C-alpha cells in the first residue's frame, strides 16, 4: 500500500484529501506545518508528498528545497497544493523541486489522477528500460537504471521527470512534439492547457545540456507548436554540459 504524506495547515482540506486517498487505497499520514512535515518526511520516507505552499513556521517552498537537498528524500515525488494560481508561483514551486502542481479548489478525481501518475514513476525503472526504444543518438545516450545521460562523454544526473522528458523528445528526434503530447506521455494525465510545467522542466534540461541555455542549440522551442530535440548524428567534438543557471 503506497504511503502518502499530506502537509497542509487547513484541517478541512487536509481531512478531505486524506479521506479520499484512503478510500482509494493509500496509507495516509498528515502534518499541519512545515517543520512537522519535513520531520515526518524523513521519518516515514513516503512514496509521495502532497505539500501546501502557505504553511506556518516554514513555508512549502522552503520545505520542498530542503527535501530535495537531503538524499533520503531527494527522489520522493512532490505534488504541491496551493490557492496560488499565478504563473510565477508555479515557476517558483517547480524551481523548488516540485514534480506537479494542483491549484485549490480542485476536483477529487483530478487529484487522484495526478497522484496515480506521480506514483507510476516511483521506485521503478523508466519506461525506456522496458521497451526496445531509442536510447542514444549522436552525443546523447540515456542510462535508465541510473536516470543519467551521457552527453558528449560527460555524465549528467537527471531527475526522474527530466529523464522522462528527454526520453520523450529523443523518441521523436528531429520532430516537433506538442505540449499536449508531452503532458500525456511524461506526466500521465490529459492536457489542461497549462504548459508552464513543461517550460520550467525544459529550462532545467537546458541548464544541464546546453552550452548557452539562453540560446539553445539542441532543445529548441518551436513557437506555437512545441519542442524539438535536434542533435548531430556524430558529435564533432567533446562538449561538456552547461553549468550556468537560468531562472
Domains of the chain: 1-121 (3.40.50.2300), 125-227 (1.10.10.10)
CA distance 174 to 116: 31
With CA atoms as reference, report the closest residue to 137 among 124, 149, 119, 145: 149
Rounded CA-CA distance 72/196 in Å is 28
Non-local (6+) Cβ contacts of 158 within 8 A are: 147, 148, 149, 166, 205, 208
Backbone φ/ψ region at 82: left (φ over 0), alpha (ψ -120 to 50), beta: beta
> Residue 116's pLDDT is what?
86
pLDDT at 86: 65
The whole-number pLDDT of residue 94 equals 81
The parts of the chain modelled with pLDDT lower than 50 are: 124-132, 238, 240-247
First-last CA distance in the chain: 38
pLDDT at 126 (0 to 100): 44
Given a contact cutoff of 8 angstroms between Cβ atoms, the answer to whether 60 and 7 are in contact is yes
- Alpha-carbon distance of 90 to 56, in angstroms, equals 19
- Whole-number pLDDT of residue 144: 81
pLDDT value, residue 239 = 53
Question: Residue 224 region, left (φ>0) first, then alpha (ψ -120 to 50), else beta?
Answer: left
Cβ–Cβ < 8 Å for 205, 221? no
Please report the pLDDT score of residue 192 as a whole number: 60
19: CB partners within 8 A, 6+ apart: none
pTM of the model: 0.66
Amino acid at each position: 500500500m503506497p504511503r502518502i504524506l499530506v502537509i497542509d495547515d487547513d484541517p478541512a482540506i487536509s481531512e478531505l484529501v486524506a479521506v479520499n486517498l484512503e478510500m482509494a487505497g493509500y496509507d495516509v499520514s498528515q502534518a499541519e506545518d512545515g517543520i512537522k512535515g519535513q520531520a515526518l518526511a524523513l521519518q516515514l520516507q513516503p512514496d509521495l508528498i502532497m505539500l501546501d505552499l502557505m504553511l506556518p513556521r516554514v513555508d512549502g517552498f522552503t520545505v520542498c528545497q530542503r527535501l530535495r537537498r537531503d538524499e533520503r528524500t531527494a527522489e520522493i515525488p512532490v505534488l504541491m497544493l496551493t490557492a496560488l494560481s499565478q504563473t510565477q508561483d508555479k515557476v517558483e514551486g517547480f524551481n523548488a523541486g516540485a514534480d506537479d502542481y494542483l491549484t485549490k479548489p480542485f476536483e477529487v478525481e483530478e487529484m487522484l489522477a495526478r497522484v496515480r501518475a506521480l506514483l507510476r514513476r516511483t521506485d521503478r525503472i523508466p519506461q525506456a528500460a522496458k521497451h526496445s526504444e531509442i536510447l542514444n543518438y549522436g552525443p546523447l545516450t540515456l542510462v535508465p537504471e541510473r536516470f543519467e545521460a551521457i552527453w558528449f562523454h560527460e555524465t549528467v544526473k537527471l531527475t526522474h521527470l527530466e529523464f522522462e522528458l528527454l526520453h520523450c523528445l529523443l523518441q521523436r528526434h528531429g520532430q516537433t512534439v506538442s505540449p499536449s503530447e508531452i503532458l500525456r506521455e511524461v506526466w500521465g494525465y490529459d492536457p489542461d492547457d497549462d504548459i508552464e510545467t513543461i517550460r520550467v522542466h525544459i529550462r532545467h534540461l537546458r541548464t544541464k545540456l546546453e552550452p548557452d541555455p539562453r540560446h539553445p542549440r539542441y532543445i529548441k522551442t518551436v513557437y506555437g507548436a512545441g519542442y524539438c530535440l535536434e542533435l548531430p548524428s556524430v558529435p564533432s567534438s567533446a562538449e561538456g554540459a552547461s553549468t550556468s543557471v537560468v531562472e
